[in-house]
Chains A and B, each alone.
Chain A
Amino acid sequence: MVYVDTILTVDNLHINFYTNNRCNEAVRGVSFQLKKGRTLCLVGESGCGKSVTASSIMRLLPPLSRIEEGRIIYHSEQGDIHLHELAANGPEIRSIRGAEIAMIFQDPMTALNPVYTVGFQIREAFLYHTKMAKAAMQQKAIELLRSMRIPAPEQRVNEYIHQYSGGMRQRAMIAMAMSCNPKILIADEPTTALDVTVQAQIFDLMNDLQKKHNAAILLITHDMGVVAELAHDVVVMYMGVAVENGPVEEVLTKPAHPYTSALLKSIPVLGQSRSKKLEPIRGSTPDPYNRPQGCQFRPRCDFATEKCLQEPEACSVGENHTVKCWHWEKVLANA
């Protein structure tokens, strides 16, 4: 079921990494739909496959990985484009990268080239997607920096990234990503490397941009606070599996997967009494080369039974709210 306002559909995505003659099934069955003007958060701990999922949409996966199964469909104005079928660095995907779908990365210090000016790197995006003259490109770059609230953009545009502060670097990165008014913005932990005070500014900017251009945002994070603040929809990932998928209010208040529930219990809440202990999730993340049979969360789960040795199927909890757990009713009742 494709909604009218859906802009990106990821359906049953499987991605494998082949290193040292071993195969790591980094993503094993992720499905979600990204809608215009809305923000979808991909949540999960490090190594759960959320960044890999994000990179695969732009076909920016490293050479030793492959999309094994599933579909990534971009519902463009010109019709559906099957992104998973395009050649990795071919002309079709290149015309989409930057122009239709843009991406911002975790660490702006390493994600921007140190030997070129910020202006040069913004102009590069125009070079292959527009037919602007050079002076116009420069003017547009200055405007973009100004809209990102970077002071003295006329001067800053000719500076290098090491002359920028951390927050300014990420704003320059966003300016670059937004340069061609993309329909989709993929943000891979955009504030992890930044101060908390700067985080709010960055999210503020992203919100503004979303309202102005009606862009869809795919936000990758491990911060539940960010999810509560920004997301309209949430996909919770664990060991490459999208275990729970639904609107943010539903998932955060009525988590139907034991992992989501445990994740929410392990977050400290401001003002929470000292006597109330945090409940960390017991055990540790399994070795991706030696995965548990059936449900990936089984060894750490309080609800695990014999049945969990079989891989659970997606069950519908509510409208648009699905979960991959055999015991989701018990989890809901327990909460």
Chain B
Amino acid sequence: MKHRRMILLLLTLAMVLTAQSASAVDDGTNSVYTYNFDYWGELMESPDAYRVEEVVTSASLGLDVPMNFPQSLYARGNSLYVVDRGNNRILELERLDGQMHLKRIIDHIQGAEIDTFKNPNDVSVDEAGNLYVADTGNNRIVMMDRELNLIREYVKPTDSTFDQNADFQPNKLVVDSAGRVFALAINVNKGLVKYEADGTFTGFIGANKVTYNLWDYIWKSFFSTKEQRAQQVAFVPTEYKNIYMDEEGFIYATNVNFSEYDLLSDSAKPIRRLNSLGDDILIKNDRYPPIGDLYWEEGLTANDYHGPSKFYDITVLDHDIYVALDRMRGRIFGYDPQGIMLWAFGTRGNVEGAFNGAVSIEHMGTDLIVLDELAGTITVFAVTQYGQLIYDASEKYLKGDYDGSADTWREVMKLNANYNLAFIGIGRSQMRQDNYVEAMENFKAAHNRINYSKAYRYYREQWMEDNIWWVVIILLVLVVFLVGRGFYRKAKWEVNEHDRSHILKQS
């Protein structure tokens, strides 16, 4: 009997242990368009921050030759420049009444020895309207005025710091307000090539740091033969993918060559903000660094998109809000100046608002413009009421209108009750109004320790001030009780001793 019961028990246990559920869980990433992450990194569906306003195609622009692998966008004022690499030309579009129109096609330079482009990859325009084109196939950067007259050519530096055996193939470029040109060149890993306004090369800035670990180093130095070492990957810095210069003259750079295990520990740094010395000064005050998606496996089949977000381009809106474009899943991630994610949206596909070959992003005001190189389309996104409220609240906070900011965050909360920044914004204003208990509740809802701790300290101080007499009275009573008990015990002991000695004496 006993044995049978044992066997039954074991059998049930075996059944429980083997009954593994094979059902795949739909985490929402396959159907949700706009989302955010909560404190635990869980995906939270969110209202749309952006909606597609217009999809610009070669046909809608009336182009005879359709766009062929367009590579880059540049927006200034109402003008949008599109680098149409496959056709060796640059399209200048103008946005009038919310619609894109073709203004002109730039495909030659007046006054240059080679007056056409060959595989151009990037364009930039300064305030005076001068164009800078990264003319990769012709190994030069061309600077020309508004009427396309050649002003200057930036060619391979003759400096010894530049490898003279390699071709100079400028790929991406930015120009600062003083006319200095910073360019990324293919196969140059020393950082950005920097030219002064007069066209002289003055060195490299912002090299990607070499990453290797101690184990690799030991293995390579002591346990590999010369032949093996030649076969192994060299410890060289990687190249940046794209660069963008913000209003203040800082360069935002994206990087797509990293090990995905370095992302969450923030040693990969896919987005960087470089100062003039080339140091990364991007602020990261969130639980997760700005790395895009936190989950890298998606879909039910193995050949679906696996791997972390790869930022192919970045653009910076007003008030240092930056928006990065993920090629991997065709997504767009917005971050505030503190590195906290505002929203993420987008997907792969062929429908409106989905991308297969997202390659470049730009902005006009708060509108976002995304270029798809495979489809040859330009998608214009307009901000929704929800997205606008988030911008307004951040802006009011930066301007010092804290209570107005909190009111706007309350509006955001009506549309999305899971928005951490809204909880923190409201809590901050409540803390300023000495409403500590409610502020603490809001900070707790946002899992924000630092602010909760601040509010709690004020609350504790206030509580002590209000209840100081009670605290003193309770302490006094306690002291009196303990001292009294001590006296009582001592007295009792003495009486006992006295009695005992009395008895001893008598006997």
A interacts with B: no
Seen from chain B, the residues whose Cβ lies within 8 Å of a Cβ on chain A are: none
